[in-house]
Amino acid sequence: MIDLTGKVALVTGAGRGIGRAIAGKLAACGAAVMINDLDQAPAAEAEEAIRLAGGKAAILAGDITEPEFPAYLVESALRVFGGLDILVNNAGYTWDNVIQKTGDEQFQAMLDIHLVAPFRVLRAASAHLRESAKKETAEGRRVMRKVVNITSIAGTDGNPGQAGYSSGKAGILGLTKTLAKEWGRYNINVNAVGFGMIETRLTQALAGPAASIEVKGRQIAVGVQPKALEAIKVTCPLGRPGTPEEAAGAVLFFCSPLSDYVTGEVLICGGGLHF
């Protein structure tokens, strides 16, 4: 059993899919979870599910890519729960196109959500994390804290049609490895989990008109061609996409004491799939 009683976790993009599964697992292990999502309704549903299961949660809906919001989110977690021990940068979406059809706005949007926003969240949390560690060290205590950044095999291997997404997901790896070296002295493990094909609304099969999500007033098509999903059965050694719960399990490892001597690493949770 993994016991996170007394820990406070902040999970971005936790209203749906993998983020919601991560928040649920952390809460089930005893952590109090601050849930962030762009949309209020799914965030509230995630909070209610945790509370009904006997866990502790609070929500702060809002756009993580707005420059001032990450600091407000961190401050809110500290105000509501009195601390911060686990930080999972999970929020993200895909906006795909081949490079000659990718505009500056589209490319920048992928960098903003997958790299700039996590950077701002971590920068906002740094003062609390460092000061807490210094105080604990002065008291002769070692308290391990956890940062988990979410990447993708599109970031480690590249993927046609995803110049922006792949660049953002590759960039987060550099940030992860740098902070692992900067923050080791503060007893903070900084790692990344890279996902392959996981069953979420972003990877659902296209049927008729493309499904879409709304971001900053823009409707962005999401989904995967049915042929591509069928190909997973052949190209993925495990022969199927992963579930959000399976994806969350890999993140939970990095949030737990099991990873106390692991930092600066990337764990691929993709069933053996490589693009």
CA 25 to CA 101: how far, in whole Å?
A: 39
Please tell me the number of Cα atoms within 13 Å of 158 on its side-chain side: 4
Exposure letters 218-254 (e unless 16+ CB within 10 A, then b)? eebebbbeeeebeebeebbeeeebbebebbbbbbbbb
- Does 165 qualify as catalytic in the annotation? yes
* Unique residue bearing structure tokens 């989904």: 223
Q: Which of 72, 165, 186, 261 is catalytic?
A: 165
Give the catalytic positions in this structure. 165
